[in-house]
Structure 1
Amino acid sequence: MRSYLIVALLAAAGLTHTVSVQAAPREETWMSVTLEGRKIGSMNNLREERDGSVVTTQTLDVRIDRGGIGIGIVTTESVTESADGKPLSFRSASKLSGIETVTQGKIDGDAIKVVSQVGGANQEKTVPWPKGALLVEGLRLVALKRGIAPGTTYKDLAFQPSGLQAIEVSKRIGRRESVDLPGGRRELVRVEQDMAVPGMPISAVSWIDEKYNVQKMVMPLLGMKLEMLACDKACAQAPNQSADLLTNALLKAPRALEPDALKSGLRYTLAPRDKTRKLELPTTDEQRVARNGERIEVTIAAKPAAGGNAKPVAADRAPNAWLQSDAPEIVALAKTATQGAKTDVERMRQLESYVRGYIDDKNLSVGYASALETLKTREGDCTEHALLLAALGRSLGIPTRVVDGLAYTSSFGGADRVFVPHAWVTAWIGDRWQSFDAALNGFDAGHIALGAGDGDPWRFYAGVSTLGNLELQSVEATP
């Protein structure tokens, strides 16, 4: 049940920073964060001028519930730029339930030298700097040139340190509106924004004052309204209220699904709750998707057939910050778990069974742990099972990906016959991708894929876009 999807969306909110016309050497603003009117945290923005450079730091501190289990999420992004807005460096840190991830980058011409630390393990790499991308100060200076005259439209390329990617942000300046804030009613300028996050386009509305400071922002989150309101520090840090996100992400099945059908195949007819948002689900070697107007028909077979997905690439075999498949502990565990196996499918089946028993403390309190962390702690939910299994497979040379989606269960959290947010692994076996689920009793036709990635939590945007916007209209067994 994936907290990291929530973090991904909240990180996208960070693309909207405060922008001040008359920037002082040190400026600080606070915002209260609410979900459907319930306070879940705070956001702090700090801009400082230091020795000819500008340092902007944004800290988001929220607490959400998953099935009654509270999860604390703290993300901090600090970027350094020259006085004229040239990107110099950045540091992004996130902490979920005490598990910290840090990414630091130094921009050197057209490249970024990146150092990532996940669960105490460091990884260094060099990636290209997106041409034309800007950080906070650069975006501020561009905004000043364009102004806020009603009807003004423009696009920016905003670099997001947490995901090491540039996001195109389209803005439309509206008219002044009367807006209620914790400190009272104010006349503010409406700004509509479309953020082209890969796999998850986001539309948000902000209201800014005469100094371009964002005073209010509203954006969707799992079919609910996430709201940020400018206020003083005491207001922003007031006690939080309980807000369970998982409940809204559950997908109700119209009837109980028979074991025989789950082992064979099922066809689902899905429709969007929000008719203005088009449903997009991936085709895989187990999942076929056909569109019928605003509805889509998803046919899932328990056994894969070649041709649904492209062949693996080098990255599907390589270690990364979340799948540390080259770590000696991972390599040793994989060899132990696959003794006697002669084929890749046998190896993956043995790994699937081994991970299911190896993680003996199954709980929802772990935010998002890497494969190496899970190997050491032996605790977690479906994401920890999936990341460890994917890393073990890669250590044996088997290409793997981590899939996020929904999985059927007869009961969860007091609800019967529901699909819950879930994660599992797909591995390249022979000439096709085949799925394995170590958290449940293996893969079956009760698994609906929403997206796939390399285990990096910032890449799972597609799941956020779709969760909370699905309605299951019918389900039938396939011949």
Structure 2
Amino acid sequence: MHKIRVDIHIGVVVSSHAWVDGEGELYEEEIALGPIKMAAVRISGNEPVPPSNGELAEMFEPTILRLAKPVRDPGGVRRAVFRLQFETPEEAAAMYQDEAQRILDRSGGAVRIEVEPCAPPSPIALAAAAPPPGGEAYVQPSSLVQADDPAIAAAAREAIGEETEAWKAAKRLERWTHERIRTKSLGVVFASAKETLETREGDCTEHAALLVALCRAAGLPARAAAGLIYSEAIDGFGYHMWAEVYLDGWRDLDATRPGDPVDAMRIQLGASALEDARFASDLSVNLLKYLGRFSIEALQAER
């Protein structure tokens, strides 16, 4: 039996150990990604059985960040203030901020942030929506968000109907996506927007990819936001992905937990245009490098 170690550096180190026999056949493999430990062992038997939602939830249990005092009805929180304690000052200095998430102060490895998602300050015509300077990637299709696919374009037209105001159109797309994906499943591994439109199942990543594609098909600059969201179901913050549209700044949309605006019980760590060449690096920089490296304290939660 031979042991093989592989370290992959993608902004964070992903380490794997594999045991192979003399014929090169894999016997066992272990992968460590921050606090997540995964193991695969070769067994005999019938066709593999896909893991259940419960089994997948158990695997992600180590990544959940819990608060000292639970927050009830997080979907009703409109403004929140959090204190994040990172392991290093450098991690704290890199904390993300935009129109909905403002850094109030930093001290060493601690950051205090205010989260208050909001609609654009004034109406914008759907036909006038445009990306920020240098943001052409936010309106273009990719292999993950096929905004130029006829079925995606038809779905966007169906969802928007006769609406001509950009933010109202975006909210219609958010609601349509929420209702379209009927099976909320953790068992889907980052399906594309077109696949999700057809299968109507997936978790937050599928909701986000489909919503981004629909927005772009409708002429709305859009990207995916990566971070954490508080859920009563897990009694803490879990890693999450949602969508944003650019309308006089970036505005949050969340097809898994829609609201007008979306709730403030979320912390954004970064964003991605979901481009083919950059998606993996965006994910590693925005999410993976923070796994297990900070804690959260909720200071305020206003309704």
Same fold, TM-score > 0.5, yes or no:
yes
Matched, 1:295 2:110: yes
Q: For 2:59 and 2:85, locate their aligned partners in 1 and report how far apart those are by CA, in whole Å.
A: 21
Candidates 273, 284, 287, aligned match of 1:454: 273
Taking structure 1 as reference, are residues 302 and 8 closer, same or farther at Cα in structure 2, changes over 3 Å only? farther
Alignment of 1:200-239 (within 5 A): none
**Aligned-partner residue type, residue 331 of structure 1:** A
Moved more, 261-270 or 291-300: 261-270
1:305 is displaced (CA, Å) by: 7.4
1:68 to 54, 62, 66: 54
User: Which 5+ residue runs of structure 2 have no aligned equivalent?
Assistant: 1-7, 18-22, 42-48, 122-130
**Displacement of 1:249 after TM fit?**
1.1
The structure that is helix-richer by fraction is 2
More strand per residue = 1
Looking at structure 2, the residues matched to 472 and 369 of structure 1 have their Cα atoms a distance apart, in angstroms, of: 30
Q: Distance in 2 between matches of 1:261 and 1:38?
A: 31
Specify the alignment match of 1:374 in structure 2: 196
What are the equivalent positions in structure 2 for 1:232-247 lying under 5 Å apart? Answer: 244-247=58-61
Q: How many Å separate the matches in 2 of 1:66 and 1:432?
A: 39
Give yes or no for the alignment of 1:327 onto 2:165. no
Residue equivalent to 1:434: 251
Query: Which one of the candidate residues 239, 243, 261 is aligned to 1:425?
Result: 243
Deviations 1:266-296 (A, max 9, x none): 1100102x45873332111100123222101
Q: C-alpha separation between the residues in 1 aligned to 2:13 and 2:211?
A: 29
How far apart, in 2, do the equivalents of 1:304 and 1:404 lie?
19
How far apart, in 2, do the equivalents of 1:252 and 1:292 lie?
Answer: 22
Letter in 2 for 1:453: S
For residue 344 of structure 1, what is the aligned residue in structure 2? 166
244 and 409 in structure 1: CA distance in 2 versus 1, 3 angstrom threshold: closer
* Cα distance, 1:257–1:267 mapped onto 2, change above 3 Å: same
Taking a change above 3 Å as real, the CA distance of residues 261 and 365 of structure 1, as seen in their structure-2 partners, is closer
Alignment of 1:377-392 (within 5 A): 377-392=199-214
Amino acid at match of 1:445: A
TM-score, normalised by the number of residues in structure 2: 0.75
Q: Which has the larger radius of gyration?
A: 1
CA contact (8 A) 1:305 1:432 kept: yes
Equivalent residue, structure 2, for 1:399: 221
Q: Which amino acid aligns with 1:278?
A: E
DSSP-derived class of the 1:68 partner: helix
Measured at CA, do residues 303 and 464 of structure 1 come closer, stay the same or move farther in structure 2, by a change above 3 Å? same
Would you say the 8 A contact 1:285–1:305 is kept in 2? no
Change (3 A) 1:32 1:257: closer
Structure 2 partner of 1:467: 291
Counterparts of 1:79-228 in structure 2 under 5 Å? none
Equivalenced residues, count: 265
Distance of 1:351 and 1:475 partners within structure 2: 33
Matched, 1:284 2:98: yes
Aligned CA distance change for structure 1 residues 399 and 310 (closer, same or farther; 3 Å) = closer
- Superposed CA offset, 1:309-343 (max 9, x none): 96561111000111100000000000011002121
Instruction: Classify 1:378/1:29 alpha carbon distance in 2 versus 1 (closer, same or farther; 3 Å).
Output: closer
Residue of structure 1 in register with 2:128 after alignment: none
**Shift in Å, 1:41:** 3.2
RMSD: 3.7
Supply the distance in 2 between the matched residues of 1:276 and 1:15 (Cα, whole angstroms). 29
Structure 1 SS opposite 2:143: coil
CA distance in structure 1 between the aligned counterparts of 2:153 and 2:15, rounded to whole angstroms? 38
Which 5+ residue runs of structure 1 have no aligned equivalent? 1-6, 17-26, 43-62, 71-242
| Change beyond 3 A, Cα 1:260–1:454 | closer
Between the aligned partners of 1:284 and 1:305, the Cα distance in structure 2 is 13
Contact 1:67 1:246 in 2 (8 A): no
Identical positions, percent: 26
1:246: how far off?
1.2
